[in-house]
Amino acid sequence: MKKTLLLILLPLLGISQQNVFNFGFDGTNTAMQTAGWQFTNQSSPLGASTWSLSTYTTPLSSAIFGSGNTTTIPVGQAGGNNSFALVNFNSTTGAGTISNWLISPDITVQNGDIVTFYSRKGTDGTTDYPDRLELRMSSTTTTTPSGATGVGSFTTLCTSVNPSLLGGFVYPKVWTQYTYTVSGLSGPTSVKFAFRYFVTNGGPSGANSDIIGIDTFSVDRPLSTDSFFSQNFSIYPNPVNHVLNIVAKNGIIINDFSVTDMNGRVVASGKVIDNSVDVSNLSPGVYFVSVVTDEGKGTTKFVKN
């Protein structure tokens, strides 16, 4: 019976998220540096290209980043025209090893935090010069990478897009989301993340490397719905006889509510009117009340006398 009850209750304990950090790659390179992002090109031989924000104007020299033509400004995954960062094969000269870095500001994370970003190739053409992108993390005093093969203190490889440098557009031509779940830390830790454009036999004369973009970098912390509830709502009285009051904090607006009994059955639902829910018709026992908001869903327990 206990095992069956647990399975019934699990769907009630949904997941909400708290945003820890996000950056949309809008604006200018100066604004990005002011926000704490750093650039370092460690390619060998060293080329002229570094990471930068998109600044395309029309007419384009060729269709790129999904523009489809030479008269449409490329758009990011979110945010509109030129709202993404990019890097390309001119990171090195001739045929060489590309190791071009974009390093985030300090971000305090903990195990279980979810890091997401979007990336895509820039070419609209049919020929694929393979690209590779690494997301790395430094969880110690940051040491800047040095040399085409060095990673400095960014020893944690979080994820790699096309790690084997395969052709055939394994690196996608459409904005695609990639995810990493933070692990291996002893507690909340100030870290830096780094995007490393890392391509061997790259450059203008190399067999690999073309152009890639990134957008919508975010770090989010999953919260159980009871944590979300306790941070943003309070209820009283508990135990309750007739009317359960639900008070929202932090300017959050409750859209809907539902009350579920211990068997997982919804026994009441609707809109919260004047911060109150009528529970007078419920039989005595333990119930779960859930609220739905634009920021997430929260659930907590109450007792009906």
State the Cα–Cα distance between residues 81 and 213, nearest whole angstrom: 13
Tell me the average pLDDT across 129-147.
94
List, for residues 231-265, the tens digit of each pLDDT value: 889 999 999 999 999 998 878 889 899 998 887 78
DSSP per position, the chain: -HHHHHHHHGGGS-EEEEEEEEE---S-HHHHHHTT-EEEE--EEE-S---EE----SSPSS-BTT--SSSS--B-SSSSBT-SEEEEGGGEEEEEEEEEEEE---EEE-TT-EEEEEEEE-B-SS------EEEEEE-SS-----SSS--TT--EEEEEESTT--SSSSS-SS-EEEEEE--S-SSSEEEEEEEEEEEEEESTTSSS--EEEEEEEEEEEEEEHHHHHHHHEEEESSSBSSEEEEEE-TT--EEEEEEEETTS-EEEEE--BTTEEE-TTSPSEEEEEEEEETTEEEEEEEEE-
Q: Does pLDDT of 122 surpass 70?
A: yes
List, for residues 273-290, the tens digit of each pLDDT value: 888 999 999 999 999 998
Q: Per-domain residue ranges for the chain?
A: 17-221, 237-304
CATH class of 17-221: mainly beta
CATH 2.60.40.1220 fits 237-304, yes or no: yes
Q: What does the pLDDT read at residue 59?
A: 97
**Is the fold of 17-221 the same as that of 237-304?**
no
Tokens representing 202? 């790259």
Q: What does the pLDDT read at residue 264?
A: 75
Residue 16 pLDDT class (50, 70, 90 cuts): low
List, for residues 174-196, the tens digit of each pLDDT value: 999 999 999 999 889 999 999 99
Q: What does the pLDDT read at residue 133?
A: 98
Residue 225 pLDDT class (50, 70, 90 cuts): low
- Of the candidates 207, 130, 116, 215, the residue with the CA atom closest to the CA atom of residue 164: 130
When mean pLDDT is compared across 13-22, 89-98, 219-228, the lowest value belongs to 13-22
* % of the chain surpassing 90 pLDDT: 73
Q: What does the pLDDT read at residue 88?
A: 98
Specify the pTM: 0.74
For residues 293 and 168, which has the higher predicted lDDT (pLDDT)?
168
Distances (CA, A) of 77 to 129, 176, 216: 22, 8, 7
When mean pLDDT is compared across 3-12, 256-265, 268-277, the lowest value belongs to 3-12
For residues 300 and 58, which has the higher predicted lDDT (pLDDT)?
58
State the Cα–Cα distance between residues 14 and 34, nearest whole angstrom: 37
Tell me the average pLDDT across 76-90.
95
